[in-house]
Amino acid sequence: MDSTAAPASLSRHLSSVAPPPRLFHSIYQPNSSILCLAATESYIFGGRQSGDILVWDHHLYSKKAALKGHEGSVLAMEYAVAKKWLFSSSADSTVRVWDTVDLVPLYVLDPYLQTDAGDIYSLAWSQSRETVYFGCQNTSIQWIQFGEGSAMAPHSSQPRPVHKFFAGSHPQYQHTMSADSASELAPTQSLDATSSQVQCTVLSIPATNIVSSVHHGYVYCMAISPSPHQGSDDILYTDARSCIYLVTGSGDESVKLWNCSSPAPVLQYTFECNQGAVLSIVVRGETIYAGCQDGYIKILDLETRTLIRTIIVHENVAVFSLSMLHSDLYSVSAKGQIQRWSASFDCTAESDGHTNSIILSSVITYSDESGQFQLVTGANDGYIKVWNIEPPKSRDHLDGCFHRPVAQREVESINDTMLYALSKFISIPSVSDSSQHREDCRQGAIWLKKCLNQLGASQSILVSTGETTNPLVLATFQGARHGVSKKRVLFYGHYDVMAAPARDWQTDPFNLTGMNGYLYGRGATDDKGPIMAVACAAAELLRKRSLSVDLIMLIEGEEESGSAGFREAVRKNKSLIGEIDAILVSNSTWIDETTPCITYGLRGVVQCSIEIFNDQPDLHSGIEGGATAEPMIDMVKVLAKITDENGRVAIPQFYERVRPLTEEESALYERITSITKRSTESLSSKWCEPSFTVHNIQVSGPRNPTVIPSWVKSQVSVRIVPDQNLDTIAENLCKFLSVTFSELRSPNSIEVKVNHKADWWLGRLDDEWFEALEASVRKEWGVTPLRIKEGGSIPSVPYLEKEFGCRALHLPLGQSSDQAHLPNERISLLNLRKGKAVIERFLTAVGNK
């Protein structure tokens, strides 16, 4: 066939009703090239140059295992759905078969002539024939049949010689990584599957199961028609065609069609592509799509054996992988781009999938968790990226091919809604202590009000806290009425966040980024993630007609800046909020990475500013040094007097009312120590003992080493514990600072000011609300949570308890490494989803009492 007779690419770049691929999550393994991919309902498998196959949880995107056994690069993988087997081929001249449920090896397939076969580049699985085919570097096709009637020949494996010609001859895709990108963005726990130590059967391919010299080049790719892959609608053609075809592509620039009705494939036709090596193939119905090294996709018709179209993707940029979702074709290339092509061969979406990298592999799968189709891509930058995609609208009637439940088509997954809403929430830089973000805070409040309303809140309004402060968001999720009074739970949170200088982050802090099972972004764990978890828990219960309490959400926008105007606004609108039976808070983290916790205590805080100054200008130390009383020296002397050489705070009566550690708490600490390996002394010092901290020192003038500043300011704070009196501690601190300064007999002046104070809080461990929350955590996580305290302070918690006359509960969702207030703040997908589930259980439990 003369390919030049075919029309050139007529593909147009068109807008599409379906949105372009949206990045859902990224998985990063440094110093890796992801050469091939496979996906099941539970796992994503990534084959690497190092010879191992990394296994990632498909729902949480955390590392699950590493399948070891191959001694060369893993070049291809194929998933057999019915058997739940994973086939992998390698540069070590073997094919391995893995159980995808238990993640253990089942078989090692030795090709005919063993290492003489060279690298095994391609795999194809025929479900109807229960046969795996593989294409070799020595230009042969080999196969083996499983199931009844198959002739599999096990043997004892001997050391396999390395072929002197084929050894190490597979292509190496190099990519230079910066020192920053070569380090892992986030540490992940891995459970290595010591698969090389598990006994498995070694099978040799007999001489009858090989067709030699099928191409004049390496067999880079192959596919079965009808295709068994997720995302194909070839099932519609199965009844119309009795025979099975194997399609192969090669470095000789050709595609060959093989009839597999008989045991040995029989060549039916050869398509000449003439656009460089054929590197990727996908089949849909009667159409073959072949991706070529020169940047072209050849569209071939099975029935008429003709070339019907040429798509120009990128001139001279290799098309390494193709995937199909119904009639949409997805191509990925060495340029790092993803493109979507319609049934009429028009480009309907284009995006940079892996910037400045080579995308080497792709696969389409379906996520039951999110209720969406996903395109998974792997590149030489060490990333596996998961993209949410949608099937073409014109082909919605084919959804049945994917066994997708009607409920999943009609009802959007609440977990996906939670992540989508959180991504929008994170994108709003609602930094409350910055005047340039004041409007962002207001827009954040407006967005949250609308979001809660869309999630099912019967009322969602903004409440003013003053002309210069950010509003409250007040929303009510109304429980079902059963003719009896309902419990009313108040959830308190905050939509404002700390500043996030981009230079300190490895991702955009205001663009929610999924990586290795974590979601990175400012506010992910403090406190936007927990807010979305609670709101979506209420929405899910409403959808199920199971919300039996009234959930009132009170979300402020000044928590990170001292909660200015909060108390007055709550007190003024108390009748609007209504009676409250319990308060729920989620605004801190666990004590470690793995054990869920419930917080039952917080320290209080007094924040104070000190300024020492004179009425002179800044002076030159070389001219005036020694002849003037320097404010900096006075400040150093005053601060030095606050603590003694043992670190004890010298403020009078500072330790007099500190509650001693009880026997019950000592027992709690012993359990925490046994799990976290942290000493009881360190826990007690952070949770049960008061402390003093100097935060910073500021000076006037240009801050160069020759200047004597005319004024010096310092920010200090004390943390207090039960049963210290907040007002007494604040008064004694100010008095101590003033008296200590006066004893210096300095001509300078001092000004001491309390900027913020918040009382300590201690929950009850023996009431029904705490017991219900603890039981909910235990049922969801399968372990009794740790009862912990927190060294920090949340001013609104003790205030709300006193204002509404009820108990507060504190459920942290984040892990200890979540970096709240710090660069690279994050929350794990597992914690976020299970946190939502715990809230559902808790609201259900207290509503049924």
What CATH number corresponds to the domain at position 496? 3.40.630.10
Do 486 and 479 contact (CB within 8 A), yes or no? yes
Domain shared by 406 and 503, yes or no: no
Return the CATH number at 252: 2.130.10.10
- Is residue 666 in some structural domain? no
Segment holding 85, helix H or strand E: strand 85-90
- Is residue 444 in some structural domain? yes
What's residue 262's pLDDT? 86
Segment holding 440, helix H or strand E: helix 438-454
Q: Is 682 left (phi over 0), alpha (psi -120 to 50) or beta?
A: alpha
Domain shared by 645 and 504, yes or no: no
- Is residue 110 in some structural domain? yes
Domain shared by 712 and 774, yes or no: no
Q: Among 726, 758, 790, where does a domain finish?
A: 758
Domain shared by 562 and 503, yes or no: yes
Return the CATH number at 736: 3.30.70.360
Q: What does the angle CA 787 – CA 792 – CA 798 come to, to the nearest 5 degrees? A: 80
Rounded to an integer, the average pLDDT of 200-210 is 92
Q: Among 714, 732, 758, where does a domain finish?
A: 758
- Is residue 684 in some structural domain? no
Tell me the per-residue pLDDT of 66-105, one tens digit each, with 9 for 90 and over: 999 999 999 999 999 999 999 999 999 999 999 999 999 9
Domain shared by 598 and 619, yes or no: no
Q: Among 758, 778, 802, where does a domain finish?
A: 758
Domain shared by 427 and 307, yes or no: no
What's residue 382's pLDDT? 94
Paired tokens of 716: 């200090």
Place of tokens 């509404």: 804
- Is residue 391 in some structural domain? yes
Segment holding 55, helix H or strand E: strand 53-57
**Which domain covers residue 78, as residue numbers?**
3-7+14-410
Domain shared by 18 and 80, yes or no: yes
Rounded to an integer, the average pLDDT of 498-506 is 94
Domain shared by 426 and 569, yes or no: yes
Q: Specify the range with the lowest mean pLDDT, choosing from 57-71, 279-293, 393-407, 648-662.
A: 393-407
Average pLDDT, the chain: 88
Residue 289: pLDDT over 60: yes
Do 458 and 552 contact (CB within 8 A), yes or no? no
* Residue 484 Cα distances to 31, 487, 488, 805, angstroms: 62, 10, 13, 22
Radius of gyration of the chain (CA): 33
Domain shared by 211 and 225, yes or no: yes
Rounded to an integer, the average pLDDT of 628-633 is 95
Size (the chain), residues: 849
Upstream peptide bond of 226 is cis (omega within 30 degrees of 0): yes
* Alpha-carbon gap, residue 390 to 386, rounded angstroms: 13
Residue 802: pLDDT over 80: yes
Domain shared by 752 and 770, yes or no: no
Tell me the per-residue pLDDT of 449-467, one tens digit each, with 9 for 90 and over: 999 998 999 999 999 999 9
- Is residue 348 in some structural domain? yes
**Number of compact structural domains in the chain:** 3
Paired tokens of 656: 């007099």
Do 200 and 105 contact (CB within 8 A), yes or no? yes
Domain shared by 450 and 557, yes or no: yes
Rounded to an integer, the average pLDDT of 401-427 is 64
* Alpha-carbon gap, residue 837 to 796, rounded angstroms: 25
- Is residue 227 in some structural domain? yes
Place of tokens 């972004």: 521
Please tell me the pTM assigned to this model: 0.80
What's residue 1's pLDDT? 39
Domain shared by 515 and 434, yes or no: yes
